[in-house]
A = this chain, B = another copy of it.
């Protein structure tokens, strides 16, 4: 099997503006995530960040990306619409996408989900317990019953997402809330995994089980098939069954709209 080419995207803002975050993630959140994935020989890992030209997500980079991970929070609105459109098209064509934590409000996630993607939250350093609700799912492999995070940001319901196609994790919070924090969808040929833990003010991405989930998620999201060759006009003479065109028409033989005022 060829190596899985992973691009780790991070807006890389908090780490440059907040000393506490910089202390926890001296190489940036992207650096920590890359360091977590690099030991696996099956992955080749690169990173990209907001301030690079085209946010580091040029056609050339995406041509060499099987799975993209996305972390953003403070600068969602600064991500260019044309880059979002490009990433969206890649997902539809089969690239996997792993959306992390506050990436739930990113343009790309909202565009793929079609919903608000809003939620409740509280930053109190409280305990979170990420429960495996589907131990048979590949993303849950190697874990125990739950992952316990001593300090976490609370994300709570209602979470404005379409019904997950597969639910892998549901979180419990010390302050009394729950959250559907590990969810899978397919859009076009691309697989999308959202995973909620990862607040920048706590060392969550240094936790081995969190790293394991992200590695599993990247594996799960690898491209599965070929993109659909649509839109596609099927001329009458290429219909699988022999038919003859009948009745009025607003298109010409090539499927273009006929000129107006006919």
Bound-state Cα–Cα, A18 to B258, Å: 9
Whether A170 is near chain B, meaning CB under 8 Å from some CB there, is yes
- Which residue of chain B lies nearest to A137 when distances are taken between CB atoms in the complex? B225
Tell me which residues across on chain B come within 8 A of A245, comparing CB atoms.
Answer: 123-125
Smallest beta-carbon distance A104→chain B, Å:
10
Bound-state Cα–Cα, A166 to B224, Å: 13
Q: Is the CB of B148 within 8 A of A240?
A: yes
Partner of A125, one of B19, B116, B178, B247: B247
Partner of A186, one of B74, B163, B171, B241: B163
Partner of A111, one of B20, B114, B173, B240: B114
Report the copy number of this chain in the oligomer. Answer: 4
Interface residues of A in 186-229 (CB under 8 A from B): 186-190, 200-202, 224-229
Bound-state Cα–Cα, A258 to B137, Å: 36
Contacts A133-B180, A165-B165, A201-B248 supplied; 15 other A-B pairs, CB < 8 Å: A92-B115, A122-B234, A126-B243, A129-B176, A134-B158, A137-B225, A148-B240, A154-B239, A156-B234, A170-B178, A175-B234, A176-B241, A177-B240, A200-B250, A201-B247
